[in-house]
Structure 1
Amino acid sequence: MASKIRLLVTAAGLAILGSVAAASEGPLVTTEWLQENLENPEIRLLEVSVNPGVYERGHIPGATNIVWHTDLVDPVRRDIASKDQLQSILRDAGVNADSTIILYGDTNNWFAAWGAWVLDVYGVENVKLLDGGRALWEAEGRQLSTSPLALAAGNIELGEADPALRAKLAEVVDAVESESHVIVDIRSPDEYSGKIIAPEGFKETAIRAGHVSGAVNVPWSQAVQEDGRFKSPEDLKALYAEAGVDGSKPVITYCRIGERSSHTWFALSKILGYDVKNYDGSWTEYGNAVGVPVTNLAGTIWTGR
Structure 2
Amino acid sequence: MIITAAIRGAVALAALALLTGLAQASSDALVSTDWLADNLDRKDVRVIEVSVNPGKFERGHIPGAVNFRWHTDLVDTVSRDIISRDDFEALLRDAGISDDTEVVLYGDTNNWFAAWGAWIFDIYGVDNVRLLDGGREKWEAEGRELGIRPASYAQGDITVDEADDSIRAFLPEVVEVASSDEPAAQLVDIRSAAEYEGRIIAPDGVNELSVRAGHIPGAVNVGWGNAVNEDGTFKSADELRALYAEAGVDGSEPVITYCRIGERSSHTWFALSKILGYDVKNYDGSWTEYGNSVGVPVTNLAGTVWGGQ
TM-score by length of 2: 0.89
1:41 Cα deviation after fit: 1.0
Q: Report the residue type matching 2:54 in the other structure.
A: P
Q: Hey, what does 2:156 align to over in structure 1? A: 154
Q: Hey, what does 2:165 align to over in structure 1? A: 163
Question: Structure 1, residues 38-69: CA drift from partner, whole Å, max 9, x if none?
Answer: 10111110000131211011100010000101
* Pick aligned residue for 1:50 from 49, 52, 75: 52
- Distance across 2 between alignment mates of 1:294 and 1:179: 16
Q: Does structure 1 residue 202 correspond to structure 2 residue 206? A: yes
* Pick aligned residue for 1:230 from 197, 209, 234: 234
Kept after mapping to 1: 8 A contact 2:51/2:113: yes
Mean CA deviation greater in 103-112 or 173-182: 173-182
1:303 Cα deviation after fit: 4.2
Q: Hey, what does 1:140 align to over in structure 2? A: 142
* Pick aligned residue for 2:185 from 181, 184, 187: 181
1:163 Cα deviation after fit: 1.1
- Distance across 2 between alignment mates of 1:148 and 1:119: 22
Kept after mapping to 2: 8 A contact 1:83/1:122: yes
Question: Structure 1, residues 139-196: CA drift from partner, whole Å, max 9, x if none?
Answer: 1110000122121010111100011110000000111214110100000000000000
* Structure 1 residues 303 and 286, CA gap change in structure 2 (3 angstroms): closer
Within a 5 Å distance, the mapping from 1:281-296 to structure 2 comes to 281-296=285-300
- Distance across 2 between alignment mates of 1:62 and 1:303: 45
- Distance across 2 between alignment mates of 1:68 and 1:164: 22
Kept after mapping to 2: 8 A contact 1:256/1:282: yes
* Structure 1 residues 303 and 168, CA gap change in structure 2 (3 angstroms): closer
Q: Report the residue type matching 2:151 in the other structure.
A: L
Q: Does structure 1 residue 250 correspond to structure 2 residue 254? A: yes
- Distance across 2 between alignment mates of 1:151 and 1:65: 13
* Pick aligned residue for 2:280 from 276, 280, 284: 276
Mean CA deviation greater in 169-178 or 210-219: 169-178
- Distance across 1 between alignment mates of 2:305 and 2:173: 26
Within a 5 Å distance, the mapping from 1:29-178 to structure 2 comes to 29-176=31-178, 177=180, 178=182
Q: Report the residue type matching 1:181 in the other structure.
A: A
1:304 Cα deviation after fit: 8.2
SS at match of 1:85: helix
- Distance across 2 between alignment mates of 1:33 and 1:303: 47
1:299 Cα deviation after fit: 1.3
Kept after mapping to 2: 8 A contact 1:196/1:300: no
Q: Hey, what does 1:17 align to over in structure 2? A: none
- Distance across 2 between alignment mates of 1:195 and 1:304: 7
Kept after mapping to 1: 8 A contact 2:95/2:152: no
The answer to which structure, 1 or 2, has the higher relative contact order (CA under 8 A, 6+ apart) is 2
Q: Hey, what does 1:298 align to over in structure 2? A: 302
SS at match of 2:211: coil
* Structure 1 residues 57 and 249, CA gap change in structure 2 (3 angstroms): same
SS at match of 2:81: coil
Identity %: 66
Q: Hey, what does 1:12 align to over in structure 2? A: none
Kept after mapping to 2: 8 A contact 1:191/1:209: yes
* Pick aligned residue for 1:26 from 16, 25, 28: 28
- Distance across 2 between alignment mates of 1:249 and 1:133: 30
Q: Hey, what does 1:262 align to over in structure 2? A: 266
Over aligned residues, Cα RMSD in angstroms?
1.4
Q: Report the residue type matching 1:209 in the other structure.
A: A
Which blocks of at least 5 consecutive residues in structure 1 are unaligned?
A: 1-21
Q: Report the residue type matching 2:28 in the other structure.
A: G
SS at match of 1:71: coil
* Structure 1 residues 161 and 303, CA gap change in structure 2 (3 angstroms): closer
Kept after mapping to 1: 8 A contact 2:210/2:307: no
Count of aligned positions: 283
Q: Report the residue type matching 1:251 in the other structure.
A: V
